[in-house]
Amino acid sequence: MRVLIAGGGIGGLTAALALDHFGHDVFVFEQSGVLDEVGAGIQLSPNGMQVLSQLGVSARILKDAFRPKALEMRMGRSGKLLFDIPLRKAAINRWGADYLHVHRADLIQALYEALVTRRPDAVSLGRKVISYQKDDSGIQATLDSGEMIEGDLLVGADGIHSVVRAQMLGAEAPRYTGMTAWRGIAPVSALSHAPPPTATVWTGSRRHAVTYLLRGGSLANFVGVVERKEKHLESWTAEGSREDALADFKGWHASVTGIIEQAPVLHRWALFDRDELPRWSDGRTVLLGDACHPMLPFLAQGAVMAIEDGYVLAREISSDVPLPDALKAYETARKPRTSKVQAGARENSKLFHRSNPITQLSTYGPMWMAGRMMKGFIHSRNDWLYGHDVTLG
C-alpha cells in the first residue's frame, strides 16, 4: 500500500519503519521544518526495545543511551531510599531486552536515519496534513500548502492535538487533572549533587519528581509534577521560570534542585486526561500514539505505546483481510493494553503524592519492606508491561 503518515515524531517514524519492514510505501509529513525535539529524555522499556530491535535500530539507539542500574524510589526532601530494584542485567534476563534512558532528539534522529537510508524520499519536512477526504478506493490528504496527496491509507500520528482525530471524531473536552509538569536537562558536570544512575522517583506532599541520566551519563533529566489549581498551556514547548520551579521544590534534595538551577531552559505544561475514544479508524484513516490514547507520564510509557502501535498497525494491514477489518483488528489488539496503561498511570499519580506522614507511612512502609525482602515480587508486577513483545503476535 501507499501509506501517508501525518506526523514525524516517535510514533510516526516508527510506524513508517514498520510499514517499510512489511513492504509498504511510506510518506511522512511533518509540520516542523526540522526533525528535532525540545530537550527531554524518555524511558525506553524492554517492550519498546523489542520493536526497535526488530526494525534494526536498537544498536544505533544504544550509542547515545544510558542503562540505569536500578529502579528507585526516594523521599523528595531527605533523599531517603525507599527501595531500589536492580535493572541492567535484570531487564535482559527477565524481559528479554534493555531498559534505556534516551534523549528524544537522539531517538528521533536514529529513527529518521534508518528510514531515509531505506527510503530517501520518505520524509517531507515543513508540510502539515490539515484534512483528508476519503472514498472506497483511496484517500487524499490536504497539506497546509493546499497540495493534495493521494494514498491508500492515512495514519494520524500527529500527537495530542491531532487534526486527523479532530476531523474523525470532532472536538474533544479534555479534563484538567489538577497537576502541572516541569521538565529540564542539565549537564552533569555542572551539578554538585548528580542524581543517582537510576530511574528515580522522588516522592513528596502533593508533588513528585523523576530524575535519570542521558547520553552515557553526561546529562541529567528532571521531570517534576505539582498539584495546583491554576491551569497552564498543554504544550511541550511552553517555558516556565526558574524561580517558580525552585519554589515548587523548595527544600527538596539537591539532586533535584540542582538540575532546576542549572538547566538552560525549563518547560512547564498542564496535564490533561481524556476519555477513551469510541473508535480509532474512519474508512482509510487510522490513529496511533498520543492522537488516540494520550498518556499521563506516571508509567513512562507514552512513547513506548506509540512504538508498539506502529508495529501492530503495520502487521495487521499486511494480513490477507480487507483494510477495514485489518484496522479493526489493530484497534482490538491495542485498545485493552493502552487502556490498562492509562489506568496504571492515573493510579501512580496518587501513589507518588501522599500528603501527610500517616498516608506516607502506610504506603511507603510496605514498599520499603518489599524492596528489601521481595525484589522479585516487585519485578513481577511489571511483567505484564515490560515483558510484552508485540513482535511475537
pLDDT tens, position by position, 365-391: 555 455 555 556 667 889 999 999 999
pLDDT at 368: 47
Whole-number Cα distances in Å, 95 to 42, 63, 172: 19, 21, 37
Q: What is the pTM of this model?
A: 0.93
Domains along the sequence of the chain with CATH = 2-65+87-173+278-350+385-392 (3.50.50.60)
Q: How far apart are CA 291 and CA 162, in angstroms?
A: 5
**Cell numbers for 301:** 510509557
- Residue in 246, 244, 241, 240 with CA at minimum distance from that of residue 260: 246
pLDDT at 356: 54
Between strands 285-287 and 281-282, the pairing is antiparallel
Q: What's the rounded mean pLDDT across residues 344-352?
A: 78
Q: How far apart are CA 92 and CA 181, in angstroms?
A: 31
Q: Which of 212, 330, 364, 386 is catalytic?
A: 212
Mean pLDDT over each residue of the chain, to the nearest integer:
91
Q: How far apart are the first and last CA of the chain?
A: 21
Active site residue 212: yes
pLDDT at 347: 84
* pLDDT, tens digit (0-9, with 9 covering 90-100), for 83-114: 888 999 999 999 999 999 999 999 999 999 99
Q: How far apart are CA 332 and CA 152, in angstroms?
A: 21
- Residue in 118, 152, 134 with CA at minimum distance from that of residue 18: 118
